[in-house]
Structure 1
Amino acid sequence: MENIILLKGKVKFPITLDPGVWIFDDRKKELHEFFSNEKIETDDIESYTKAVSEHWDREIREGAIVPPTLKTEKVFKKQQVLNGTFGISFHHFLKNASPVKEATIIKVITTEGAHTFQLKEAENFILCFSRDGKPLKEDGPVHLYLKDGSNRKHPIKNVKAFEIE
């Protein structure tokens, strides 16, 4: 139970977060990707449609052939998961919890105390859940980073819950 994080308070749907399963989540990214200067916001449906249409075009031109690099790509992705440092945007979970309209503050509760932010700022939280392919056991289960990178050297550690007020 020490790896479970609660998202509670003035929300329509309180959520229990388990960072141990995020390694299988398609929304995860390498932590450095969140802080790169190149900010590209994409629409999930639009990017999916483009990928499917590119695949369809390739099959029309070349036929349905499995590329020879497919095995190599699987090995690379496995190595990336085993050695990577990953994070996930908090806004996915915040959206699912559906904060009520009068909610304005979010408290990040840690073992050392609480950190208070405006609810708007929570859209920019990044939850790091894996370092060098390993879960964050000593000072985890997650480290909280701000998307602007202002706390990149000193993230908020030992996060136990998020409380919306």
Structure 2
Amino acid sequence: MIVPIIGNVTYSITLDPTVWIFDDRKILLEEAFTERENVQVEENELENASKRWSRAVYQQKINPPVNKSISRFEREKILENSYVMPINEFVDHAEVNENATDVTIVTSKGDEHISLEALQSCYLLFAVDGKPLKEEGPVHLFYKDGSNKDNPITGIEKIVIN
């Protein structure tokens, strides 16, 4: 249930979509393809990053890190929805080398080739009705413009930056 990002990168990283259900960066699937929501999501990401930074600095000075508990209502809501995760932040963390131009997405059905720029603007579907994808999973790839909304890239085994 993991997806490595390897190839022409400084750091090969491994994505574990099973833990994203509790990640603040996740986006509801039905909101992912609306332009208005994307602007709000970017603002929320900046605000959440600021809060995480403040919390980390505060905890470093006073207390050891403590996970915020999730209320029962939030837990039930999480387990009822489908979510996507923007892939661009993970690709940025891998630090793609300057001479990289395209991407090979290795799937159980064969390889898919897309540009690096296209990959930067993709979502990974990782949960349907609050549960990890088991069929054709662990993630499905959607373009942010929604052009493959009805036919995502499925069965992804690894992402190779070329």
Which residue identity does 2:108 align to in structure 1?
T
Q: Which residue number in structure 1 is paired with residue 58 of structure 2?
A: none
2:86 to 89, 110, 120: 89
Q: Which runs of 4+ in 1 moved over 6 A?
A: none
Question: What is the alpha-carbon distance in structure 1 between the residues aligned to residue 141 and residue 74 of structure 2?
Answer: 25
2:8 to 7, 10, 32: 10
Does the C-alpha gap of structure 1 residues 49 and 105 become closer, same or farther in structure 2, counting only changes over 3 Å?
closer
Question: What is the alpha-carbon distance in structure 2 between the residues aligned to residue 48 and residue 116 of structure 1?
Answer: 33
User: How far 1:43 moved relative to its partner?
Assistant: 7.0
Q: How does 1:28-43 map to 2 (within 5 A)?
A: 28-38=26-36, 39-40=38-39, 41-42=42-43
Which residue identity does 1:42 align to in structure 2?
E
Local SS of the residue matching 1:76 = helix
Gaps of 5+ in 1: 52-72
2:145 to 135, 145, 148: 148
Does the C-alpha gap of structure 1 residues 128 and 49 become closer, same or farther in structure 2, counting only changes over 3 Å?
closer
User: How far 1:80 moved relative to its partner?
Assistant: 1.5
Q: Which residue number in structure 1 is paired with residue 75 of structure 2?
A: 78
Does the C-alpha gap of structure 1 residues 50 and 107 become closer, same or farther in structure 2, counting only changes over 3 Å?
closer
Cα deviations by residue, 1:29-76 (Å, 9 ceiling, x for unpaired): 11112112414142744x35998xxxxxxxxxxxxxxxxxxxxx9343
Q: Give % identity.
A: 36
TM-score normalized by structure 2? 0.80
C-alpha RMSD of matched pairs (Å)? 2.0
2:24 to 7, 20, 26: 26
1:101 to 98, 108, 112: 98
Gaps of 5+ in 2: 52-69
Does the C-alpha gap of structure 1 residues 48 and 84 become closer, same or farther in structure 2, counting only changes over 3 Å?
closer
Does the C-alpha gap of structure 1 residues 49 and 135 become closer, same or farther in structure 2, counting only changes over 3 Å?
closer
TM-score normalized by structure 1? 0.79
Q: Whose Rg is larger?
A: 1
